[in-house]
């Protein structure tokens, strides 16, 4: 099968978040897709299958399938628009999280994602011990969200994954704060995989409503402060959020499996 590797949420190589995109002719068993994702060992590998109404899209980490992924969706849209169907300006992906629409607007790829409104929860002793008293608020959704006082605290945080594993009720841990040069910043840690994700589009389904409400504005610019870094252009809608970013091709190839 044809394989693409794309750096998402950036226009530079070795920045943003790399994702693998496999273009299928027929749907593979989930076990085989999981094996391929483990072989690639990227944070996400996407699997695309053309349908009459668009494309079926599934996302796999090296360890498991997930229900929503932003950077691998952006990478998949980039592949569709640049290589599979360059005449298109809009594509619909059928996913575990419903139909996701991506629109090409010049160099940006605008994704419409569902809003995920988090539940505010009490600050726990574990959170204070791990993040310190600079953690202002905690929110719960698929991931745990920790609101800090400053961008500097987010940028300077050093994760201890053994400590973060105490938050076993959530897929990942997000730390976030008001930005200095942008509206807000964040970082994402996955304790189970002991890694920091470079740029996490799916968490912005929650971060955009949080910061739109806090800052009283609908259009926001966000940065994820990982080593690779990435910029996301965000907009709050009535029922969804729009997340836009750039992408650049790193590699193409063919996967040889029997």
Mind telling me the catalytic residues? 44
Strand segments, DSSP code E, in 41-183 are 45-51, 54-60, 65-66, 90-95, 98-105, 108-114, 119-121, 135-140, 144-148, 173-178
Q: Taking the alpha carbons of 236, 238, 239, 242 in that order, is the dihedral positive or negative?
A: negative
Nearest CA-CA partner of 231 in 250, 244, 242 = 244
| CA–CA dist 107, 102 (Å, integer) | 13
Nearest 5°: CA angle at 130, between 71 and 17?
15
| CA–CA dist 114, 122 (Å, integer) | 25
Q: Can you count the helices (H) and strands (E) in the chain? A: 6, 18
């Amino acid at each position: 099968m044809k394989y693409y590797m794309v750096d998402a949420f950036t226009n530079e190589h070795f920045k943003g978040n790399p994702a693998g995109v496999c273009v299928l002719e027929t749907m593979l068993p989930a076990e085989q897709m999981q094996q391929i994702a483990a072989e690639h060992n990227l944070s996400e590998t996407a699997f695309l299958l053309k349908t009459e109404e668009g494309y079926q899209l599934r996302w796999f980490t090296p360890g498991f399938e997930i229900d929503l992924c932003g950077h691998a969706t952006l990478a998949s849209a980039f592949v569709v628009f640049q290589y599979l169907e360059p005449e298109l300006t809009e594509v619909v992906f059928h996913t575990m999280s419903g139909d996701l629409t991506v629109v090409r607007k010049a160099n940006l790829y605008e994704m419409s994602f569902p809003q995920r409104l988090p539940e505010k929860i009490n600050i726990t002793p574990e959170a204070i011990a791990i993040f310190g008293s600079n953690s202002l608020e905690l929110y719960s959704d698929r991931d745990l969200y920790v609101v800090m006082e400053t961008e500097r605290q987010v940028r300077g945080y050093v994760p201890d994954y053994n400590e973060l594993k105490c938050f076993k009720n959530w897929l990942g841990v997000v730390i976030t704060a008001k930005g200095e040069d942008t509206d807000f910043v964040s970082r994402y840690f996955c304790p189970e995989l002991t890694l920091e994700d470079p740029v996490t589009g799916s968490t912005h389904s929650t971060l955009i409503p949080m910061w739109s409400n806090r800052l009283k504005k609908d259009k926001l610019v966000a940065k994820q402060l990982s080593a690779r870094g990435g910029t996301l252009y965000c907009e709050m809608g009535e029922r969804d959020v729009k997340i836009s970013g750039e992408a650049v091709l790193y590699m193409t190839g063919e996967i040889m499996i029997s």
